[in-house]
A and B are shown apart, each in its own frame.
Chain A
Amino acid sequence: MSHLKISYDDYIVINDGQVTSEHLPSNVSFDDHTLKFTLGAPIALHVVLIMSKDYELTYEFGAHTHAEIIETRAINDEATLTRTINAQEEANVQFFNENMSNSHHKLTFIDQGNIDAYAHVEMGYAELSDDSIEANYHYHLTGVEASMKLRMAILSKEAEKKHYTINLEHNAPHTTGIMDNYGVAKDTGRLVIDGIGTIKKAMKGSESHQTNKIMVFDQGCYASANPYLFIDEYDVAASHAAAVGRMDEEHLYYLESRGLTKRDAMQLITYGYLKPVINVVDNEMLKERFEEALTKVGA
């Protein structure tokens, strides 16, 4: 983490609950566990969380706010991070999460949130850390035409165990929840993704779509991608896809036939597979960091 570059002009560094450094725009405030965003100029904020014990943090995006957030985590001990992320009416949020921890601990991430009417939240999770993760993300689409697009890129390697449960719950009509969860398992890594789309009764006109894919590198790893749709309404559109498999040999052959070594070919394919997560925000520094972290995939 010592080499972490701050990605935006505005930032806040929170070390075990204490703000150690900050430069916040006038429409962002931090007050005891809550980052509050209010109407004003569009916000681009880098939040750095350094933790060695459990921590709770709330993001409160006010009505009509526009915000682009990068949250970078460095967690040095076994700990739980519990976050609440609320987007009020017509808020528009692009939110990228990266876990840069590398201390091989067991971490628990709990995210919950409400997305109000006409609000749109795009959430990207890059999880290339050296930790074992138990994560539970549960977002409620609480207002009409609320929408959420969630994308994950996960690497589980060596003896890491990573388990994710993601639930997008539709509690209002004409809401849209889309998730695309991409993972790579190698060595003896374990990766389980449970994607859940829940549409409650009378939430007509809602859409729930999910794709879960895990690429498996080695015999010793365990991977499982499980989509669930719980739908209690007829007038909806829903789809799910799940796939766990090895890298396509024909893809590798094609790239190798153009002179790429097997290692380079695997890296290129994996990179292309996980990379789209960074499109949630448009930030060059983030791209560089992500590329660097991706070298962990190796081959």
Chain B
Amino acid sequence: MSVLEIKDLHVSVEDKEILKGINLTIKTGETHALMGPNGNGKSTLLSTIMGHPKYKVTQGSITLDGEDVLSMSVDERSRKGIFLGMQYPEAIPGVTNSDFLRAAVNARRDEPMKLFTFIRKLDSAIDELKMDENLAHRYLNEGFSGGEKKRNEILQMKLLDPKFALLDEIDSGLDVDALKIVSDAINNMKSDHLGYVIVSHYDRLYELVKPTHVHVLVDGKIVVDGGYEIAERINKEGFEWVKELGVEFKEENEEVRANPTMLGACAAKVVADESSKN
């Protein structure tokens, strides 16, 4: 059994404190649901565990089986068994899914996986997730629909076989059929060797994957812990009842993700020496 332990975690983005003392212990074999109104820190928590450079940990600790996660680079965290299924998976032109997936699979192995074995594993995952047969040859997430991108995250999770899978709104953009496929894949992977932390705005996913633990995150703190009954109550009553527990919060609009202008932006010409002046 593995344990991911978060203690008194404080996280800031550009000097604004988002997480204000999170305590959470996840063991393999468990499925945790992270609920709460928009803009209260759920995605921040998952991204911080993965190590996104935007999020600065100002206090507290994250450990994986006693090892300090915060001192690890992003790729090290992945190789140690942490996986983040992202809310907005990046599209990377020029990089094919198969080149990327092989590199990712081999990054955590001493000996590279035999090409034949890799193709067999990939084909079976593509089949299970009912994805495009040409996926391997397509560029990573390029031209994928929202639902395809999310399924591609689950495909990566299957191939990388993590100890802890953090799924950030993995169900958004999925139609009913795709949601069933994704939740089946999540359920099929459940084992004593995998722990889930799932963030979703829709109760449908929670109904399908039945979390063992539910936490409500408000204003950077976990204010309610419990079992699946919490998810059911939120489903029926929303978050209003949480206020009755003496918790104050206001719902914020979801953060609009700023897309930096990078290569590929039409007619955006920046002379490199300008950036070197900064």
User: What distance in Å separates the Cβ of A262 from its nearest Cβ neighbour in chain B?
Assistant: 7
Contacts of A149 in B (CB 8 A): none
How many residues of A sit at the interface, in one of the four size bands?
35 or more
Binary contact readout A264-299 vs B (1 if CB under 8 angstroms, 0 otherwise): 110011011101100000000000000000000000
| Docked-complex contact A268 and B271, CB < 8 angstroms | no
B107–A249 touching, CB < 8 Å = no
Task: Give residues of chain A (210-264) contacting chain B, Cβ–Cβ below 8 Å.
Answer: 213-216, 219-226, 240-246, 248-251, 253-262, 264
Asked if B160 contacts A259 (CB within 8 A), the reply is yes
Shortest CB distance A223–B (Å): 4
When chains A and B are docked, how far (Å) is the Cα of A170 from the Cα of B229?
71
Compute how far the CA of A246 lies from the CA of B52 in the bound complex, rounded to whole angstroms. 18
- B247 within 8 A of partner (CB): no
Residues on B with beta carbons closer than 8 Å to the beta carbon of A265: 75
B112 at the interface (CB under 8 A from A): no
Chain B residues with CB under 8 Å of A221's CB are: 272
When the two chains form their complex, are residues B275 and A246 in contact, meaning their CB atoms are under 8 A apart? yes
Check A225–B99 contact: CB distance below 8 A: no
Of B75, B84, B264, the contact of A243 (CB 8 Å cutoff): B264
Smallest CB separation, A163 vs chain B (Å): 15
Judged by a CB distance under 8 angstroms, whether A141 is at the interface is no
Asked if B50 lies at the interface with its beta carbon under 8 angstroms from chain A, I say yes
* Given A222-B272, A248-B263, A258 contacting B92 (CB threshold 8 A): no
Number of contacting residues on B, CB 8 A? 45
- Cα(A271)–Cα(B108), bound, Å: 21
> Is B264's CB under 8 angstroms from A268's CB?
no
Complex partner residue of B263 from A213, A226, A257, CB under 8 angstroms:
A213
Q: Are B269 and A253 in contact (CB under 8 A)?
A: no
Min CB–CB distance B144 → chain A (angstroms): 13
Decide: A275 and B94 in contact? CB cutoff 8 A.
yes
Interface residue B191 (Cβ < 8 Å from any Cβ of A): no
> A185 interface residue, CB < 8 Å from B?
yes
| Cross-chain contact A272 with B107 (CB below 8 angstroms) | no
Q: In the complex, are the beta carbons of A255 and B276 less than 8 A apart? A: no
Interface-centre pick from A185, A220, A246, A253 (highest chain B CB count, 10 A) = A253
B235 within 8 Å of A (CB atoms):
no
Among B55-83, those with CB < 8 Å from A are 73-75, 77-79, 83
B52, B156, B271 pick with most chain A CB within 10 angstroms: B271
Query: A-facing mask of B250-273, CB < 8 A → 1, else 0?
Result: 000000000011111111111111
Taking the complex as formed, is B227 at the interface, i.e. its CB lies under 8 A from any CB of chain A?
no
A243 touches B103 (CB 8 A): no
- Tell me if B100 and A243 are in contact (CB < 8 A): no
Q: Which listed residue, B75, B83, B108, B263, touches A245 by the CB 8 Å rule?
A: B263
User: Chain A residues near B272 (CB, 8 Å)?
Assistant: 185, 214, 216, 221-224, 244
Q: Does B230 contact A (CB under 8 A)?
A: no
Most chain B beta carbons < 10 A, residue from A223, A254, A273: A254
* Distance of B115 from chain A, by nearest CB (Å): 15
Q: Which one of A240, A259, A275 contacts B75 once the chains associate, using CB atoms below 8 Å?
A: A259
Which residue of B83, B86, B264 is within 8 Å of A254 (Cβ)? B86
Q: Which of A241, A264, A269 contacts B267 (CB 8 A)?
A: A241
Contacts of A249 in B (CB 8 A): 53, 260
Cα–Cα, bound, A254→B269 (Å): 25
Say whether, besides A220-B276, A258-B100, A268-B103, A253 and B95 are in contact (CB < 8 Å): no
Is A258 touching B107 in the complex (CB atoms < 8 A)?
yes
Known: A243-B270, A250-B260, A272-B93. 19 other contacts (CB 8 A): A213-B264, A222-B271, A226-B269, A243-B264, A243-B266, A243-B269, A248-B260, A248-B262, A254-B90, A254-B92, A255-B104, A257-B74, A258-B156, A259-B108, A261-B75, A272-B99, A273-B94, A275-B94, A276-B94
20 A-B interface contacts by CB (under 8 A): A214-B272, A216-B275, A222-B271, A226-B269, A240-B267, A242-B268, A242-B269, A243-B264, A245-B270, A246-B275, A254-B92, A258-B78, A258-B160, A259-B78, A260-B103, A271-B94, A271-B95, A271-B99, A272-B95, A276-B94
Chain A interface residues toward B at CB < 8 A:
185, 213-216, 219-226, 240-246, 248-251, 253-262, 264-265, 268-269, 271-273, 275-276
